[in-house]
Structure 1
Amino acid sequence: MIEIPILFEDGEALVIDKPAGLPLDRPRAGGISLEDRLDELKLGFQRLPAPVHRLDRDTSGCLLLARNPKALKRFSAAFEARQVEKVYWGVVAGEVEGTAGTIALNLSKISSAAAGWRMIAAKKGKPAVTHWRVLARLPGRTLVEFRLETGRTHQVRVHALTGLGAPLLGDPVYGDGKGAARTLLHATRLVMPREGKEAIVAEAPIPADIAGLGFTL
């Protein structure tokens, strides 16, 4: 069974390094999900911890879990109020122009019986803002840091495609799914301030499939 590293722990919070390929909810087709692993993440507490936010199945890295209902309510409010620092690393399947910038493109959900659902950039969509900077380059690939001001579904994936001109490597929805066994997106850092307590600070090390591409940081 895949190990789930603990990046931060105290009486009301856990931050785990979610493995790529582990969905938060049980898939309709069956298989293991984070729900099946919550019992082992009680770590001596009686209650099951609850995820405060979401990461896609393919996305690895920092995932915050609350250890009681009061903490879940406060943490969720902090995400809603945009008080949480969320930093991702992603491999863009192209050579990104420039070194840094901000992408502000509203996002909207569309769906069809043939293709299923996806997010698109649309004026009438919900506001979405991503700050980015290039970390390293290889021929045809760019390692980019994404700092999310908002937290919309598939925000980094759509902003990479529409704002930077190329999808994330391995993305089967917004790209061709080639070049990697998964969409190469990693939640590398999470910081959440807390009133009267030290902030929750967690950093997830770069995963082997991104490090193995040979980027020099």
Structure 2
Amino acid sequence: MNKDSEPLLPTVQLVEITEDNNDQRLDNFLLTRLKGVPKSRIYRIVRKGEVRVNKGRVDVNYRLMTGDIVRIPPVRVAEKAEQAAFVPQALRDVLQRGLLYEDEGFMVIDKPAGYPVHGGSGVDAGIIEGLRRLRPEATFLELVHRLDRDTSGCLIVAKKRSALRRLHELFRDDHIHKTYLALLAGQWARKKMVVNAPLLKNVSKGGERMVVVSQAGKAAETVFRRLKLFKNATLIEATPKTGRTHQIRVHAAWLGHPIVGDERYGLAEVNKAFHRKGYKRMFLHARELAFEHPLTGKPIRFEAPLPPQLQELLDHEEPV
């Protein structure tokens, strides 16, 4: 398709920013408004000054404020709308089946393992992009926190800027109680342990992002409780008190009992042995979230049951 045959979005739009988009970055706002327009093109029209805020030029990092007037120029769309809105059927099914809760402020999704929370690194659509494409009428959908690609369980998505801000405050002040289930390699002798081991983000020789225990890192605390002992593994409950990258995974490995199936911090031979038994993924599941409702202040709790395939594997483990 040549440029002249590409569909043209409406002529100049003047959009007044409401509370729902207050404090949102300009590039994220435009990506939502201009569905189907490549990110590179959005950056280009901002850089050239075709997008204006209150009649002035701004950077893509500009944080919008209630009452701002955003000038959006006519933009040619390189992709067909139906291509831009495409959501793989498997992801569509996941998003429709996995909704645990929804109200006017936010939703909680039971995220399956194998799906990133957002696109990138060769992945066109993660959970948040899939949601936005399935709900084109939604003016605001943002991740409140993240889960690793191979981790399943409770994930919060905000539907209003005010809910997002409040939930971020709750996370920052440790007022959101998070509980994970994990299967550790080997028999862990302790019944309970609080791990206080600072974590430092690092990069391995191969360029892979790694996190290591280091006194130069940031404070990190995880409470581990043993739930059940098996012949070659231990089912535990992990409650992170801080929210560092890969925190539970690194703390478990530091204990000498990495999470089964963890290819980054685990033991290759152990993972191979469990893979032969049917373990095809990392055994880490965000089972429960409990916090005050961001809009009403009432206590709420959400639970995502252990995925059937993991429960079936546990049922076949030999107990001690």
Aligned counterpart, 1:204: 304
CA distance in 2, matches of 1:143, 1:203: 18
Distance of 1:31 and 1:40 partners within structure 2? 12
Identity rate, percent: 34
Tell me the amino acid that sits aligned with residue 208 of structure 1.
Answer: P
Contact 1:41–1:49 (CA<8 Å) still a contact in 2?
no
8 Å contact from structure 2 (residues 224, 238) kept in 1? yes
Could you give the per-residue CA deviations for residues 87-116 of structure 1, whole angstroms, max 9, x where no partner exists?
000010111111112111100011134252
Amino acid at match of 1:173: R
Partner of 1:102: 194
Q: How far off is 1:30 after superposition?
A: 3.0
Partner SS for 2:281: coil
Cα drift, residue 203 of structure 1: 0.2
Contact 1:51-1:65 within 8 A present in 2 as well:
yes
The 5 A counterparts of 1:30-179 are: 30-39=123-132, 42=135, 46-114=138-206, 116-163=208-255, 165-175=256-266, 176=268, 177-178=271-272, 179=274
* CA-based RMSD: 2.1
Contact 2:128–2:142, Cα closer than 8 Å, also in 1: no
Give the SS at the match of 1:212.
helix
What does residue 107 of structure 2 align with? 14
Structure 2 Cα separation of the partners of residues 90 and 33 of structure 1: 23
Partner residue, 1:183: 282
Q: How many residues align?
A: 215
- 2:313 pairs with 1:213: yes
1:213–1:34 distance in 2 versus 1, CA, 3 Å: same
2:198, 2:103 → 1: CA distance? Answer: 36
Contact kept in structure 1, 2:185 and 2:259, CA below 8 Å: yes
Letter in 1 for 2:306: I
Q: Which runs of 5 or more structure 1 residues have no equivalent in the other structure?
A: none
1:161-186 Cα deviation digits (max 9, x unpaired): 103x1110000000124322211100
Residue of structure 1 in register with 2:118 after alignment? 25
Unaligned runs of 5+ in 2: 1-89
Q: Does structure 2 conserve the Cα–Cα contact (< 8 Å) formed by 1:88 and 1:185?
A: yes
Considering fraction of residues, name the structure with more helix: 2
Determine if contact 1:22/1:32 at 8 Å carries over to the other structure.
no
User: Which residue, out of 172, 193, 197, partners 2:292?
Assistant: 193
Higher normalized contact order (CA 8 Å, seq sep 6+, divided by chain length): 1
After superposition, the C-alpha distances for 1:96-137 in whole angstroms (9 at most, x for unaligned) are 111112111100011134252211111121111111111112
Quote the offset at 1:194 in angstroms. 3.6
Query: Is contact 1:92-1:142 (8 Å) kept?
Result: yes
**Structure with more of its chain in strand, by fraction:** 1
SS at match of 1:214: helix
* Matched residue SS, 1:38: helix
Q: CA deviation at 1:27?
A: 3.3
Does structure 2 conserve the Cα–Cα contact (< 8 Å) formed by 1:38 and 1:48?
Answer: no
One-letter identity of the residue aligned with 2:308: A
Structure showing greater radius of gyration is: 2
Specify whether residues 136 and 45 from structure 1 end up closer, same or farther in structure 2 by C-alpha distance, changes over 3 A only: farther
- Larger CA deviation: 44-53 vs 200-209: 44-53
Q: What is the TM-score of this pair, normalised by structure 1?
A: 0.91
* Runs of at least 4 residues off by over 6 Å: none
CA separation of 1:45 and 1:115: change in aligned 2, threshold 3 A: closer
Call closer, same or farther: CA 1:209–1:181 in 2, change over 3 Å.
same
Q: Give the superposition deviation at 1:68.
A: 0.9
Q: Which amino acid aligns with 1:97?
A: A
